[in-house]
Structure 1
Amino acid sequence: MERAQTYLVPEIEAVCWLLRNSVDVLQTSIRPALAGLPAAHATRCVEVLAAAVDQLTRLAENGGEPPVFPALADELADIDRIQERLAAVKAPPAARTSPAGQESPVRHDLEAEELESYLREHPRGGANLRLHHLERMAGGRSKSTYALTVHDAADLPSDLVIRKDQETLLNNTSVVSEAKLLERLHRTGLKVPQPFHLESDPEALGSPFLILQRLGGTTAGEVFDPPRNERLALALAEQVGLLHSLDVGGLADDPFLVTKDVTGDQLCEQLAAFRATVNEFSEPYPSVLGALDWLDEHVRDFDEEVRLVHGDLGFHNVLAEGDELTAVLDWELASLGHPARDLGYLRSTIEMMTDWDKFLDAYHASGGVRCDPHAVDFYMLFSSVWLYQHLARSGRMRLKWDARNIEYTISFAVLGPNMRYRLARQLDGVLTRG
């Protein structure tokens, strides 16, 4: 019973956090845009979710036992506490602070007036610039992304995108590292947005941000739900092949491009860190621990190879218009690494879209590296464990902070478990191939 209660309380806390995030979205994004019966139904949903949060909270506090009231006064006091808690859950999220000594995951929302004023003072914007439209875009679990339209700018196109740092504690990345690399990749002909301006001073608008070309198309898919479109898979193969064909010698002066996860020592250090994170923030799932054991056993089985790698390739970071791939996005995790890192990361996704060998043929035709299949298996598991342990750690930290962001909620409730399911299937396939 004691073990069950020890497990029950944090699980209830997690469910309450997920529900509160859903309430916030209903209150701040959905209900204000509705009218009539839909607005009334949204209000009912808020009431129901708030009541569920309170019931679960009481369950955790009482260890699963029903409350006991020695007298009517005690019951009335409890009713007052319930009303206070319900009101707190339904209230729009206020600024929150993190535990002492930890960075606060503060939301850096972008205000239209402040942005317009900033752009007018910049030479590429000019005094005549008018901000016509600003809209926060869906997605963004480590950066905030905004679409904007400007008129009468001195030296900027009308349609732009801003990528803005949210917080960097959990993935240690910033848009500052992307600007120079994107400029170079754009010159090579890779389908990436052209950067126009980097603001690295966090005092300007709350955090560093990057102004980019706004390319056509929409996000092609999600991490576990790519488009079932072979042409897009082969188009991505061409882009990855071009990326891996670039001369890394010309990138040596980029201070943000480090060589990592290539040598046996680097990989061993990373695997030890992964295991420590899993032990602290995850249940001891056989799939995750088995993958770590296999990786430890095979960490020095293949030759080192260094190319420019994206680090987070998937159709959640791809724009497309129909069958045409228009852009590869989000280069914040780019590094000098083994090309099998990108291939391994992509394999499970590509096998949902086309034959893996057909993808490799298109990749090689565009200059891609011929990697040992064993190395691709290694980096497939390595990348999946990396993503799983990152989701486990970031989810638990954001829960601890009571961070309110629906993208964080999705990461915790959906992406983390799905990553473990994918990892289990990958490990089974690797063991089967022997």
Structure 2
Amino acid sequence: MKADQLAAYLAHRLPDASGITVTNLSRIPGGASRETWSFDAAWDQAGNAVKRSFIARRDPTASLLESNNDLEFELYTALQGSGVPVPEPIWIERDGAWLERPFFIMSKLPGASDARALVTTPEWADMTPAIARQKAEILARIHQFDIARVPLLDRPPSAAAAAPYEIERWERTMRQDTLEPQPVLEMALSWLRRHVPPPPERLTVVHADYRTGNFLYDRSGITGILDWEMAHAGDPIEDLGWLMIKSWRWAGDDRVGGLCSRDEFIKMYEAAGGVKVDRDALKFWEVFSNFKFAIIFITGTKSIVEGKTADLLLALTAFINPGVEAELMGLIA
């Protein structure tokens, strides 16, 4: 992505603007399914100098998972004013005419996303209790949001099908993308099929990647929830299972997301209006989350082997799976 490409695109979208300049263009590290670029823009409009900061989310050449630009854009649009802090979506392009691949532009929110800095540095120690509480409260709001307002959300045929639907989705991905036998994942798959939890009372929005590291924060607290590309309708406890897996315990201890104990998080989530958390269902979704996490890395490895990308991030993910598999075996032993 180049600054002159973005300037040309802004000129197309802002026909009354003149003197458009794009500065501070940089790719934000991370992002396993879509490239994220930050840039500033300035222009003159009706005699006034305008300056804005933007984020561009562009499809990659290959990724750890398939995702949908339209869904993420629709979610950001629907969630405006809901109490769930998300960026303002501005424009979406479904072809590669402007930036080689499909992309969308959204506003840039203040804050940092570095999970390790948040949970391990003295600078943020006084903020972690408030951020833990906000994290739980925002998740409760996500689960209260009406799925009918997001037509593009993939959803099972009924609440009773929520868990089997997700098992089948990720088993299908494993079968399609694996390059070698997966005995630990086959064992986990068998366990999941034998331990399907009772269905939720209703289907809710499931963020599906809700964790420390996927929100922005500053001294005011959480400023934005990011990375909605895996969102779907399903069992809300799925989100709790995902955020509790060992891979997101950034402080190196048992604290959920490096912020608080699981009992504290559940208590804050339920107090904020979240669903009652059944502990057996939570264990199911924690096992499922590790199963899913391992399969995401299998997809990334296949992209590398097939020459679809030379992204170092995708190459390195293959080394994470042994630890995820060890966690799986410990959970279901």
> TM-score w.r.t. structure 1 length?
0.65
Q: Displaced runs of 4+ in structure 1, greater than 6 A?
A: none
- Measured in 2, the distance between the counterparts of 1:385 and 1:319 equals 27
Q: Which residue of 1 aligns with 2:143?
A: 244
In 2 relative to 1, CA 216–425 (structure 1 residues): closer, same or farther, beyond 3 Å?
Answer: farther
Q: Which residue of 2 aligns with 1:406?
A: 312
The percentage of counterpart residues that share the same residue type is 23
Q: Which residue of 1 aligns with 2:216?
A: 319
State the secondary structure of the residue aligned to 1:189. Answer: coil
Q: Which residue of 1 aligns with 2:281?
A: 375
Specify which of 145, 148, 152 is matched with residue 39 of structure 2. 148
Specify which of 284, 302, 318 is matched with residue 198 of structure 2. 302
Q: Which residue of 1 aligns with 2:322?
A: 417
- Measured in 1, the distance between the counterparts of 2:304 and 2:172 equals 20
Specify which of 221, 233, 253 is matched with residue 115 of structure 2. 221
Unaligned regions of 5+ residues in structure 1, if any?
1-109, 429-434
Conserved in 2, the CA contact under 8 Å of 1:165 and 1:174?
Answer: no
State the secondary structure of the residue aligned to 1:320. Answer: strand
Higher relative contact order (CA 8 A, sep 6+): 2
Conserved in 1, the CA contact under 8 Å of 2:42 and 2:50?
Answer: no
State the secondary structure of the residue aligned to 1:386. Answer: helix
State the secondary structure of the residue aligned to 2:198. Answer: coil
- 2:139 maps to a residue whose letter is V
- 1:333 maps to a residue whose letter is M
Specify which of 178, 202, 211 is matched with residue 105 of structure 2. 211
In 2 relative to 1, CA 306–157 (structure 1 residues): closer, same or farther, beyond 3 Å?
Answer: farther
Conserved in 1, the CA contact under 8 Å of 2:34 and 2:63?
Answer: no
In 2 relative to 1, CA 212–335 (structure 1 residues): closer, same or farther, beyond 3 Å?
Answer: same
Q: Which residue of 1 aligns with 2:3?
A: 112
Larger Rg: 1
- 1:332 maps to a residue whose letter is E
- 1:237 maps to a residue whose letter is A
In 2 relative to 1, CA 147–375 (structure 1 residues): closer, same or farther, beyond 3 Å?
Answer: same
Is 1:333 paired with 2:194? Answer: no
Give per-residue Cα distances to partners, 1:54-97, cap 9 Å, x unaligned.
xxxxxxxxxxxxxxxxxxxxxxxxxxxxxxxxxxxxxxxxxxxx
Unaligned regions of 5+ residues in structure 2, if any?
121-127, 249-254
In 2 relative to 1, CA 176–248 (structure 1 residues): closer, same or farther, beyond 3 Å?
Answer: closer
Aligned length: 310
Cα shift at 1:272: 4.2
In 2 relative to 1, CA 324–133 (structure 1 residues): closer, same or farther, beyond 3 Å?
Answer: same
Cα shift at 1:332: 1.0
Conserved in 2, the CA contact under 8 Å of 1:281 and 1:393?
Answer: no
State the secondary structure of the residue aligned to 1:302. Answer: coil
Conserved in 2, the CA contact under 8 Å of 1:160 and 1:212?
Answer: yes
Q: Which residue of 2 aligns with 1:386?
A: 292
Q: Which has the higher helix share?
A: 1
> TM-score w.r.t. structure 2 length?
0.83
Conserved in 2, the CA contact under 8 Å of 1:191 and 1:328?
Answer: yes
Cα shift at 1:417: 3.2
- Measured in 2, the distance between the counterparts of 1:332 and 1:156 equals 31
Give per-residue Cα distances to partners, 1:239-263, cap 9 Å, x unaligned.
1011111122333xx2x21114950
- 2:199 maps to a residue whose letter is D
Is 1:186 paired with 2:80? Answer: yes
Conserved in 2, the CA contact under 8 Å of 1:130 and 1:151?
Answer: yes
Residues 55-70 of structure 1 mapped to structure 2, 5 A cutoff: none
Give the RMSD, CA atoms, in angstroms: 2.7
Cα shift at 1:336: 0.9
- 2:92 maps to a residue whose letter is L
Q: Which residue of 2 aligns with 1:177?
A: 71
State the secondary structure of the residue aligned to 2:17. Answer: coil
